[in-house]
Structure 1
Amino acid sequence: MIGVEDWAEIRRLHRTEQMPVRAIARKLGIARNTVRRAIADDAPRKYQRAPKDSIVDAVEPQIRELREQCPEMPTTVIADRIGWDRGLTVLKERIRELRTSYRPVDPASRTVYEAGETAPCDPRFPAAEIPLGSGQTGHPPVLVTVAA
């Protein structure tokens, strides 16, 4: 797989230098099909691994069942109850992902605003000189307001 620099060089040689595919391939030491692909693509290709299954996938139904019974159960207790004999890091990460779906919503944290009901304001000090009148310029604070 070619890098971004090679991809850009191939496109530059083909578009601005009008070099043929075979000459580009010979100059850069890469296959002609790779050159053709780079010319046809709008962006350089990225390597992406196929997602692998996790070792926690097999016990996730048991974790969900324990979370339904007791949403605040510690990870170490869950590991004991499902018979987990591997490292805790992978298990902790999955339980952290699942924790939000079993924890009740905090009623104090829900705030609802109607459109236009609030307008956050922040003072900013612009870097540019602003005319202040009477031939004066300066950096006065500017109040930035955005309707929510």
Structure 2
Amino acid sequence: MITLEDWALIRRLVIDGVPKSRIARDLGISRTTVVKAAASTTPPKYERKQQATAFAPYEDALRRLLKETPTMPQRSSLSGSAGPVGALAA
């Protein structure tokens, strides 16, 4: 993925008439990347796909415990205490 600065530079160089192959060579990127950057109207944006976390299998049980036990602390340091996290492991 190119940076915002590279994207702006590519667009400016293309407008100035610099060949796309030269831009690619000078920046050390693919010509395809230069073509896509020159054609895009918005700057590049990194987007990460949503993935399940390691906590996901326990989330429902923990939320249920928090509803059933309102005095239970809602935050816990995961330092190995026998708090809400320890109760789920049992």
Shift of 1:38: 0.6
Structure 1 gap segments, 5+ residues each: 85-148
One-letter amino acid of the structure 2 residue matched with residue 31 of structure 1: S
**Secondary structure class of the residue paired with 2:83:** helix
Q: How many residues align?
A: 83
Identity, in percent, stands at: 39
Q: TM-score, normalised by structure 1?
A: 0.47
Structure 2 gap segments, 5+ residues each: 77-81
What's the counterpart of residue 24 of structure 1?
A: 23
Counterpart-to-counterpart distance in 1, 2:62 and 2:27: 54
4+ residue stretches of structure 1 with deviation over 6 A? none
CA RMSD of aligned residues (A): 2.2
Counterpart-to-counterpart distance in 1, 2:30 and 2:40: 16
Shift of 1:12: 0.7
Shift of 1:35: 0.7
Shift of 1:40: 1.1
Select the structure of larger CA radius of gyration: 1
User: In proportion to residue count, which structure has more strand?
Assistant: 1
| Relative contact order, higher structure (CA 8 A, sep 6+) | 2
